Amino acid sequence: MPKKVDHQERRTLIADALMRVAAERGLEAVSLRHVAAEAGVSAGMVQHYFATKDEMMTFAMAVVRDRSQVRVTEAIARLCTTPPPRLLTRTLIAALLPLDEQSRGDARVALAFLAYAAARPDAVARDDSTDLLSFVAGLLPTPDARTAARGLLALMEGLGLYLISGKYSAEQALAVLDAHLDRLFAAGENA
């Protein structure tokens, strides 16, 4: 009887290998051959699942996005049933920051993918930033919540860069986030 193959599992194994190669050696080292070697599979198997580097990169970014969504969902699930907006905002942003080794690896891949996609706009599969912006804006008590949400998300991106480059520790990044949220929410109370 032939062995049943879990194709999604194999695609994820290959995507994980791609992320390790990109995180350790940079995106320029990502090739079907290097990814196959890292995954411990043949180059032919990688080509069976991903005909091009763009396909492989797009799938890897979907894996990163899914991992981020799981982190956010789990962090929010640990809150009370109806958390106050500031706590919900902080929990959401903190869950998206690369505060541990796995999320830092994912962030390095996401950053590399953004650079890769800048030269290949057709390689970008999906952009969730508009939904995130709208959600965060709905939590902020400021008069111009959409602009404030843009600023908060830009701060998150900047903190992420400082975290993956080692310029900030997790504690420093969270302290900056908390100080910014304190100003945003205090301004909203005084408006």
| Domains in the chain, CATH or no CATH each | 7-190 (1.10.357.10)
Query: What per-residue confidence (pLDDT) applies to 38?
Result: 93
Closest by CA to 25, choosing from 12, 37, 13, 8, is 37
Mean pLDDT value across the chain: 88
Measured in degrees and rounded to the nearest 5, phi and psi for residue 31 equal: -145, 165
- 111 contacts 159 by C-beta, under 8 angstroms: no
Average confidence (pLDDT) over 127-153: 92
In this prediction the pTM is 0.83
